[in-house]
Amino acid sequence: MAFRGAVITFPGSNCDRDMAVALEKVSGEPALRVWHADADLPDRLDMIAIPGGFSYGDYLRCGAIASRSPVMRAVVRAAERGVPVLGVCNGFQVLTESGLLPGALMRNAQLNFTCREARLTVENGQSLFTAGFESGSVVSFPIAHHDGNYFADAETLDQIEGDGRVAFRYLDEVNGSQRRIAGVLNAGGNVLGMMPHPERAIEPELGGTDGRVLFESAIGALVGA
């Protein structure tokens, strides 16, 4: 069946086109584009992607306003039905603010906007999005954020670690994240939020192809079944 993926655009999103290109290159199907004010999502979606950027100018808190927008109510309902949702960078912030993922993303500990390649350890190579990686392997994704410092209380951290819900961890210290967490899965495993940008690592010309594996894992599983 033809893959149906959607990319949400908020005012201030700036990685939405990159995300759509990644979905299109890997799936061979056009990505549907959804505007933040839409109360309904296209039907029969295989996957929803929430891109990076600075939705609503990061007003109040990063992702706070976007997570209360009409389309996010529909995304939350879809996620609860089991539709796969990928949130990258600002998309991760939107997912924590919406309550789909635990924790919060705070200002980087060193206060700098950090824009570079980051090496990550794949902690869980079994999930929908990470099955193409080997658990424990090291991958390299670009990071570009000011507020990627993952925080959750110790009890929550113990729980998500114990349940295999840490998808990626920074190999080196980059932003002060608790336990160097870079990407988190929800309890159902169908929602992944991560600060590093897999959509910026899908072609050798972009500097790497590790990100492509993530899209191939998810899209392959969703359409190949």
Partner 1 sequence: MKVRVHVSLKPGVLDPQGRAVHHALEGLGFDGVEDVRVGRLIELDVADGTSQATLDDMCRKLLANMVIENYRIEFPAEAQGAV
Residues in contact with partner 1 by CB under 8 A are 60-61, 64, 68, 96-97, 102-104, 106-111, 149, 151-153, 176
Closer residue to partner 1 in complex, CB, 102/142:
102
Closer residue to partner 1 in complex, CB, 27/149:
149
Closer residue to partner 1 in complex, CB, 109/115:
109
Whether 89 is catalytic: yes
Residue 191, phi then psi, degrees to nearest 5: -120, 125
Closer residue to partner 1 in complex, CB, 103/198:
103
C-beta separation of 36 from 207 below 8 A: no
Least Å distance, CB 221 to partner 1, is: 31
Least Å distance, CB 180 to partner 1, is: 15
From 15, 36, 145, 197, active-site residue: 197
Closer residue to partner 1 in complex, CB, 33/61:
61
Whether 199 is catalytic: yes
Residue 33, sorted as left (phi over 0), alpha (psi -120 to 50) or beta, turns out to be: beta
Least Å distance, CB 109 to partner 1, is: 5
From 36, 62, 89, 145, active-site residue: 89
As a whole number of angstroms, the distance between CA 118 and CA 174 comes to 8
Scanning the structure block, which residue is given the tokens 């925080």?
151
C-beta separation of 145 from 169 below 8 A: no
Report the interhelical angle of 90-98 vs 70-81 (nearest 10°): 80
Helix, strand or coil, per DSSP, at residue 15: coil
Least Å distance, CB 97 to partner 1, is: 7
CB atoms within 10 A of CB 200: 23
Least Å distance, CB 160 to partner 1, is: 13
Whether 197 is catalytic: yes
Amino acid (1-letter code) at residue 35: W
Beta-ladder partners of 208: 203
As a whole number of angstroms, the distance between CA 190 and CA 153 comes to 23
Catalytic positions, written as ranges? 89, 197, 199
